[in-house]
Amino acid sequence: MLSVLEPATEEVLAQIPRAGREETDAAVARARAAFPAWAAVGPPDRAALLRDLADALEARSEDLAVLEARNAGKPIADARGEMGMVVETFRFYAGAPERATGKTIPVDGGVDMTFREPLGVVGLIVPWNFPLVIASWKVAPALAAGNTVVLKPAELTPLTAIELERIALDAGLPEGVLNVVVGPGSVCGQRLVEHPDVAKIAFTGSTAVGRGIAAGAAGTIKRVTLELGGKSANVVYADADLEKAAAAAPLAVFGNAGQDCCARSRILVERSVLDPFMAALEDAVEALRVGDPLDEGTQMGPLISAGQREQVASFVNGEAPVAIRGTAPDGPGYWFPPTVLCPVANDDRAAREEIFGPVAAVIPFRDEAEAVRLANDTIYGLSGSVWTRNGAKALRTARAIETGVVSINSNTSVRVSTPFGGFKQSGVGRELGPDALDAYTELKNVFYATD
Ligand code: NAP
Ligand code: MG
Pocket of ligand 1 (CB under 6 A): 125-129, 134, 152, 154-155, 184-186, 189-190, 193, 204-206, 209, 212-213, 227-230, 261, 354, 356, 382, 427
pLDDT confidence of residue 318: 83
* pLDDT, tens digit (0-9, with 9 covering 90-100), for 27-63: 999 999 999 999 999 999 999 999 999 999 999 999 9
Q: Is the pLDDT of residue 319 over 90?
A: no
Q: Is the pLDDT of residue 317 over 90?
A: no
Residues of the chain with CATH 3.40.605.10: 2-228+425-449
Q: If we measure between CA atoms, which residue out of 447, 421, 422, 426 comes closest to residue 436?
A: 421
Atom of ligand 1 nearest to the CA of 212: 18
Cβ contacts of residue 319 below 8 Å, gap of 6+? 345, 348, 349, 350
Asked if 228 contacts 423 with a C-beta cutoff of 8 angstroms, the reply is no
Cβ contacts of residue 405 below 8 Å, gap of 6+? 262, 382, 383, 384, 413, 414, 419, 420, 421
Please identify every residue annotated as catalytic: 227, 261
Domain covering 2-228+425-449, topology? Aldehyde Dehydrogenase; Chain A, domain 1 (3.40.605)
The ligand that comes nearest to the alpha carbon of residue 353 is: 1
* pLDDT, tens digit (0-9, with 9 covering 90-100), for 400-440: 999 999 999 999 989 999 999 999 999 999 999 999 999 99
Q: CA 226 to CA 205: how far, in whole Å? A: 8
Q: Is the pLDDT of residue 304 over 90?
A: yes
* pLDDT, tens digit (0-9, with 9 covering 90-100), for 168-204: 999 999 999 999 999 999 999 999 999 999 999 999 9
Q: What angle do CA 420, 157, 48 make, to 5 degrees?
A: 60
* pLDDT, tens digit (0-9, with 9 covering 90-100), for 261-280: 999 999 999 999 999 999 99
pLDDT confidence of residue 232: 98
* pLDDT, tens digit (0-9, with 9 covering 90-100), for 207-227: 999 999 999 999 999 999 999
Cβ contacts of residue 255 below 8 Å, gap of 6+? 78, 263, 299, 300
Atom of ligand 1 nearest to the CA of 128: 26
Phi, psi of 143 (to 5 degrees): -70, -40
CA of 254 to the centre of ligand 2 (A): 20
Handedness of CA 28, 29, 30, 36 (dihedral sign): positive
Q: CA 406 to CA 371: how far, in whole Å? A: 14
Asked if 226 contacts 428 with a C-beta cutoff of 8 angstroms, the reply is yes
In the Cβ-directed half-sphere of 318, how many Cα atoms lie within 13 Å? 22
CA of 123 to the centre of ligand 1 (A): 14
Residues of the chain with CATH 3.40.309.10: 233-415
CATH architecture of 233-415: 3-Layer(aba) Sandwich (3.40)
- Confidence tier at 314 by pLDDT (50, 70, 90): very high
Atom of ligand 1 nearest to the CA of 207: 32
Atom of ligand 1 nearest to the CA of 230: 34
CA of 151 to the centre of ligand 1 (A): 13
* pLDDT, tens digit (0-9, with 9 covering 90-100), for 330-378: 989 999 999 999 999 999 999 999 999 999 999 999 999 999 999 999 9
CA of 207 to the centre of ligand 2 (A): 10
Which of 71, 200, 206, 405 for a ligand 1 pocket mutation test, highest count of atoms within 8 Å of Cβ? 206
Which of 2, 16, 125 for a ligand 1 pocket mutation test, highest count of atoms within 8 Å of Cβ? 125
Handedness of CA 345, 346, 352, 355 (dihedral sign): positive
